[in-house]
A = this chain, B = another copy of it.
């Protein structure tokens, strides 16, 4: 039984490792060699907590298990812990025996950033120069850092409901040697790639904010009712996602589906583009959209990489179990 505690993850997993793991598992999902189990998510009636399990099995990557944990809104104030808490458990697909336990907090941030980064690699224009950020919270810094590695961006523009948070992402841009500029939402027309990473129940990004040829990665919608972009805009784009079933029910595509603007068959798997079974972007003025809903298999894939790295570097704790 291998244990990799939360505090070791930062020193082990590079963004490139997370990227490779997520790209591979999206490909495996689209080939039918990996699938996610139904998600359990429960309001437990204590501490206003949401708790649950996201599991799956990737036969290609031989990753079986789950991420367990959730959201404890009072953690920081009461206990000094971050509010999102999760742990990944890997099982041996050959025997059903538990194989590894991996801290899931930083892992979740990195795998979510990797997902939009994989979408940028496969869907944005090669000549993209302006990176647009809608959202500037903690997770936005991870998304931006990973995104900047995919194209030769010359500028980052950013908007946030609370503008005082924009220095979070300005700092990341500057660390990557890219200038930053705060813009109103209308200013997003300048962006070639837009990542939205907000948590809202009404659309922020309208069709008038987005230019032809842009790639949009919507990373904030993972619950019924949440919405980042207006449904009419989504309906103008070619939609890709990590998992179609989640995209149309709890992801960004739920609204355009509910309003009858698109059908399930209009939502494509990003994995199909990776595998070459979907052409992806077919013109320079097409708007592509990645609806990143977040799946358990991403967590398992990245956790498996972490275990391999920890064993390689002799950092894993091995316990008799």
Contact = CB atoms under 8 A, between A and B. Distances in A.
Interface in A59-94: 59, 64-66, 68-72, 75, 78-79, 81, 85-87, 89, 91, 93-94
A161 interface: no
A267 B75 CA distance: 40
A300 interface: no
A79 B95 CA distance: 8
Interface in A93-111: 93-98, 101, 103
Interface in A292-321: 317, 319-321
A319 B321 contact: no
B94 A68 contact: no
Interface in A253-301: none
A159 interface: no
Given A46-B59, A91-B51, A95-B72, A321 B40 contact: no
How many copies make up the complex? 2
A10 interface: no
A317 to B, nearest CB: 6
B6 A321 contact: yes
B79 A91 contact: no
A319 to B, nearest CB: 6
A53 interface: yes
Contacts of A46: 57, 59, 93
A42 interface: yes
Contact of A89 (B42, B59, B68, B70): B68
Contact of A98 (B37, B49, B98, B101): B101
B44 A64 contact: yes
A220 interface: no
Given A47-B93, A53-B40, A91-B51, A66 B64 contact: no
A55 interface: yes
A310 to B, nearest CB: 13
Contacts of A5: 319-321
> Which of A3, A71, A97 has the most B CB atoms < 10 Å from its CB?
A97
A11 interface: no
13 contacts: A5-B321, A44-B64, A47-B93, A47-B94, A53-B53, A66-B68, A79-B94, A79-B95, A81-B97, A87-B98, A89-B89, A98-B101, A103-B321
- Of all A-B residue pairs in the complex, the 6 with the closest CB atoms, nearest first, are A85-B96, A72-B96, A87-B98, A5-B321, A44-B57, A53-B53
